[in-house]
Amino acid sequence: MNIQKGNFLDSERWEGRAFFADWQRTAAGVIEVTDPATGAVIASVGVGGGADIRHAAAEARVAQKAWARMLPTERARILSKAADLLEQNGAELIPWIMRESGSIYPKAGIEIEHGALFMRHAASLATAPMGMLIPAMDNRTNYARRVPHGVVGVISPFNFPLVLSVRSIAAALAFGNAVVHKPDPRTPISGGIIIARIFEEAGLPKGVLQIVPGGADAGEAMCTDPNIAMISFTGSARGGSKVAEIAGKHFKKVQLELGGKNSLIVLDDADLDVAASNSAWGAFLHQGQICMATGLILVDEKIADALTTKLVAKASHLTAGDPSLNEVALGPIISDGQVEIIDEIVNDAVAKGAKLLVGGTHDGRFYAATVLSGVKPGMRAFEEEIFGPVACIATFSSEQEAIALTNNSDYGLAAGVISADIGRALRIAEELDVGMVHVNDQTVNGGPFAPFGGPRKSGNGTRIGGPADIEEFTTWKWISVKDAATPHPF
């Protein structure tokens, strides 16, 4: 499949540039964007350094005032128009997402579909009730309003670049915040240029959204910038910890959406074909490069061999290759460095006694769907987020053991429980110390309507999506009104 240089994403407009109040060159220069499947350069964009971030934040702060005063119905109209435009141009945009982030077609399609859903959800937030009347301790009127923070800095990762950027940007905009957004420098088109073009065409006032691709240095510049009030960060625990440290020191609100090592618990009464399919989808979708990926398949020892046989059969039929050329199940891993990390984790498991049943090999960046059994605590494969297509099977002998193995994780993002007995699965779900549990589904579930996130190294207690958005992207302002000023004791 070739990139179509259609009208909507005409690169004449943005090539070598970033999106400030308009498409402009950055002080820090340009970066090339490469297709991870082939290494081919597909575009170049403006890259931001500290000076570019400061420029963007100062402009955004000015633009934010009028945006916050705009009628909520008008903000909602622009967000709805943005959703329409994303859907209408999906056919042109999908090949860009596929090539830039190594996505198979269905995954790129999910980004368009969910991106538009997040925008529509944000449109509905714009017109939500925004405060409450509160009791007074004397004869006055007391009310508290939810107000925007001001400028929100958004930092997003490479894996679902469009959706994970839009979910913060759209929610922040809905309430009258301006946004400075820094997509990952490996995916600045899906995570940045497309979004800028959509909002430009949707009629967002100039300056309200500034998009500057860049690396950790640009992200850290956002965390210190006095014009930015909040950082909404999606990425690794390591990056998030650094962001929290710097932004905290500069008195900013910080929202962290970080990694996961997510258990899929398969009980002994599960349908094995369905459980194998859930395991494969959860572990291998987008080459396992998903925060909610099924990182551990915890299976009752009574059915472990039978489930393992079915999963191995499935994995050995999944093809890996360039998704833009062939219909494959798995595309490329994002970088050579990440391929090495996957290899190291698989080798560590085997050296410590796990069995490599299929895969464990790669052709360049195309890593084969891999199944390890006998994965145990003490192995990196048991404890770490792999971000590669590796299904790790571990066994348990009691429900309490399955719960303990899940809760002992450093992470706490998502879990799944598969059982024919919903009551039994639900009892386990209630015991799991994670942010999201799916009964009779694998762990990869997202969308705009539910509060997304989890404890420990998965986040800092914030959530994103659904009812959480109003909590995160606005703050309180208390206003009290007396009929007339009265004297005080002195």
Q: For residue 215, which of 244, 241, 235, 237 has the smallest C-alpha distance?
A: 235
Query: What is the helix (H) or strand (E) element at residue 111, kind and residue range?
Result: helix 105-126
Nearest CB to ligand NAD, comparing residues 294 and 373: 294
Task: Evaluate whether 264 touches 227 at the Cβ level (below 8 Å).
Answer: no
Number of other residues whose CB lies within 10 A of the CB of residue 487:
5
Counting contacts by CB under 6 A, is residue 164 touching ligand NAD? yes
Per CB under 6 A, which region of 127-135, 235-243, 323-331, 481-489 contacts ligand NAD? 235-243
Task: For the segment 287-346, give every residue that binds ligand NAD (CB under 6 A).
Answer: 291
Cβ distance to ligand NAD smaller for residue 357 or 415: 415
* Least distance CB 421 / ligand NAD (angstroms): 30
As measured in angstroms, the least distance from the Cβ of 490 to ligand NAD is 51
H or E segment and range at residue 191: none
**Which residue stretch of 16-24, 154-162, 277-285, 373-381 sits at the interface with ligand NAD (rule: CB under 6 A)?**
154-162
d(CA 33, CA 190): 11
Is residue 52 a contact point for ligand NAD (CB under 6 A)? no
d(CA 197, CA 7): 11
Q: Could you give the CA distance from residue 332 to residue 37 in angstroms, rounded to a whole number?
A: 5
Tokens of 9: 């994403």
Neighbours of 51 (CB within 10 A): 12
Near ligand NAD in 441-470, by CB under 6 A:
none
Token pair recorded at residue 379 = 């192995």
Q: From CA 374, how far away is CA 380, in angstroms rounded?
A: 13
Q: Which helix (H) or strand (E) holds 298?
A: strand 294-300
Applying CB under 6 A, among 44, 236, 335, 475 the residue interacting with ligand NAD is 236
Minimum gap (Å) between residue 73 Cβ and ligand NAD = 30
Give catalytic status of residue 15 as yes or no.
no
Q: Which of 9, 155, 170, 357 binds ligand NAD (CB under 6 A)?
A: 155
Cα atoms in the 13 Å half-sphere on the side-chain side of 4: 11
Catalytic residue, from 100, 111, 200, 257: name it: 257
CA dihedral 33, 59, 170, 249 (to 10 degrees): 90
**Residue nearer to ligand NAD on the CB measure, 95 or 239:** 239
Nearest alpha-carbon partner for 222 in 167, 162, 156, 163 = 156
Binding residue for ligand NAD, selected from 48, 235, 282, 360, defined by CB under 6 A: 235
Distance CA 424, CA 399 (A): 9
- Tell me: does residue 385 bind ligand NAD (CB under 6 A): yes
Find the shortest distance in angstroms from Cβ 165 to ligand NAD. 9
Give least dist CB 453 to ligand NAD, A: 6
| Shortest Cβ 423–ligand NAD spacing (Å) | 30
Q: How many residues bind ligand NAD (CB under 6 A)?
A: 24
Indicate whether 111 belongs to the interface with ligand NAD (CB under 6 A). no
Query: What is the per-residue DSSP string for 391-424?
Result: EEEEEESSHHHHHHHHHTSSB-SEEEEE-S-HHH
Tokens encoding 170: 């759209």
Smallest gap from Cβ 290 to ligand NAD, in A, equals 7
Binding mask 202-231 for ligand NAD (x = CB under 6 A): -------------xx--xx-----------
Return d(Cα 284, Cα 169) in angstroms, integer: 28
223 is catalytic: no
Q: 3-class DSSP state for residue 42?
A: strand
Contact string 251-290 vs ligand NAD (x = CB under 6 A): ------xxxx------------------------------
Rule CB under 6 A: say whether 242 interacts with ligand NAD: yes
Exactly one of 223, 291, 399, 472 is catalytic; name it.
Answer: 291
Contact call for residue 411 and ligand NAD (CB under 6 A): no
Instruction: Give residues in contact with ligand NAD (CB under 6 A).
Output: 155-159, 164, 182, 184, 215-216, 219-220, 234-236, 239, 242-243, 257-260, 291, 385
Residues forming the active site: 257, 291
